[in-house]
Amino acid sequence: MGTSSLQAATALLLHDLITPTEQGIASRVLAKTQGGNVTLFAFDRGQALSEHSAPFDALALVVAGRIGFTVGGEPLEAQPEMLVRLPANVPHALQALEASRMLLIMLREPAVQG
């Protein structure tokens, strides 16, 4: 069964769900299930996540600001309402080109019951 830090049946502004940290990165898990989780990030300008990979696909939705991504060695820039697919096992990194917010949706395969 999943967990969520959000009140049910309520329309919420993403802006109000996280408090940015000066010269830092803030994150808040909004929902978590066996199939994945949804995390809201706030990055101050210049903050970055170094290159890493994950064993499952993820979708990064830029909510505010501009974020530079590198996915599999390919650079790209994303702005609000742009979605970036981060494939499983492919190295990726990001840097906030200005104060930014991003919704990260991690998509895990369900465990096989045997």
- Which residues are paired to 59 by β-bridges? 85, 105
User: Is 11 part of a structural domain of the chain?
Assistant: no
Residue 17 above 60 pLDDT? yes
Query: How far apart (Å, rounded) are the C-alpha atoms in residues 13 and 2?
Result: 22
What's the mean pLDDT in 23-44? Answer: 95
User: Is 76 part of a structural domain of the chain?
Assistant: yes
Domain count, the chain: 1
pTM as predicted: 0.89
Nearest to residue 80, comparing CAs of 100, 94, 63? 63
For the beta carbon of residue 73, count every other beta carbon within 10 angstroms.
9
Higher pLDDT among residues 30 and 2, named by residue: 30
User: Is 18 part of a structural domain of the chain?
Assistant: no
The DSSP output letter for 43 is: E
User: Is 32 part of a structural domain of the chain?
Assistant: yes
pLDDT at 8: 86
Strands 74-78 and 100-107: unpaired
Domain that holds residue 43: 24-107
